[in-house]
Amino acid sequence: MNYVASGCKSVTLRSVLLLISVVTLFARVSHAQDFASFDDFLGSYGAAAPALRAGLAQSFIAWQQARGGFPVRESNGKVVFVYLALADEKEVRLTGDFKPISFTNPYWDSPGELMTRIGSVFYIRRNFESDARLDYRFNVDGTDTRDPLNARSLFSGTGNGEVSELVMPEHPPYATATARPTVGRGTLHPLEQTWATPKVTIYLPPAYDASRKYPAIYTADGSAWRDLIRLPTILDNLIADGEIQPVIAVMIDATSDRSAWYSYDPNYLAYLKRVVEYVDNSYSTLREPDGRLHAGTSAGGRASAYVAFEFSTLFGKIGMLSPSFSGPTFSYLEPFLNGVRPVPPTVDLWISAGTYEGVIYQNAQILEKHLKGIGLPIKATYSHQGHSFGQWRENAAEMLRHFFAAR
């Protein structure tokens, strides 16, 4: 899974034109007809003469945008996804976190679900938890596109590129990954050494002072943590708000063969050790295991488990966000789970996953139960989300609050 270079067909020309038409609509409609619900609109639309349908659809879009936007979130927990055809679209399908390829594969099912069509309106109803946060997109006549009626979007973690975001009414508000102009910003420093391959980027907190000692977070998939999870911005905001102590972040990229790099590869541990030695010799860091956190998502979360069990002399804190242990990669853990190999007693663990992640969610619960059973400190948190950077942004902030709370 290449997070940054994931291939996708982004917003199509058709979607752009539809968005322009909706904006134009707001400028033209002086009074939007009121509707009791989506079903009320659909009934009126279905019964209307063809010449009147376009006006009804435009009026409904304006009405719905004013009362909460799209998708339509109904009071009973149901959600209506709506696509308004611009021209001669024949088929629209819905896919997302809630439609994975299989229980063991969090990638999205490409065909998706066929949406019902009445005139130019395509729609489908799904039911979600009241606090869910999920990613989705449409497939319009074979072309993937974001929802033109929904302004919320993000880069998906399942290889789908830019997608639309559904946030249910009771999902906790979240803005920690949004840059604020009034907040001091840390600085980024590429590790300029001939041996530093893959790339390493170091974040120093605002007002970095070499006379004090700082804890450090080391991440797998460094560029994804920097650009997609937005770790520097999260740190800036949490430090400015006094929620965590100032922290140094060391973001280590993956090799070209990411899967192998994070599948219990001793070369990863050797490279990580060299990076730690460089950082400790170059910056004012806390140089005991409790002062270092290693964190990763998905396969990077698997690498975090590897660091926990093999490198507890360097890392006393471990963050596993949606760790991927499916298939043969779970076999590494078996000696620790059945007592053949001892689990380091001093490591402090964080594990999180989304209920829409299938076997990743299931395995996280198995690991949590076992590690708690042998008395290891572990914080576990689960939410109604998928395998997504949206989830990881939120859990990254919570993990940092857990490990580095301001004293």
Which pLDDT belongs to residue 374?
85
Interval 227-262: pLDDT, tens:
999 999 999 999 999 999 999 999 999 999 999 999
Which pLDDT belongs to residue 407?
79
Give the pLDDT band (50/70/90) at residue 337.
Answer: confident
Which pLDDT belongs to residue 299?
95
Checking if the pLDDT of 10 tops 50, the result is: no
Checking if the pLDDT of 213 tops 90, the result is: yes
Q: What does pTM read for this prediction?
A: 0.90
Which pLDDT belongs to residue 14?
53
Interval 251-308: pLDDT, tens:
999 999 999 999 999 999 999 999 999 999 999 999 999 999 999 999 999 999 999 9
Which pLDDT belongs to residue 334?
85
Interval 340-372: pLDDT, tens:
888 888 899 999 999 999 999 999 999 999 889
Interval 41-85: pLDDT, tens:
999 999 999 999 999 999 999 999 999 999 999 988 899 999 999
Structure token digits, residue 184: 């001091």
Which pLDDT belongs to residue 24?
44
Checking if the pLDDT of 32 tops 60, the result is: no
Give the pLDDT band (50/70/90) at residue 31.
Answer: very low
Which pLDDT belongs to residue 343?
85
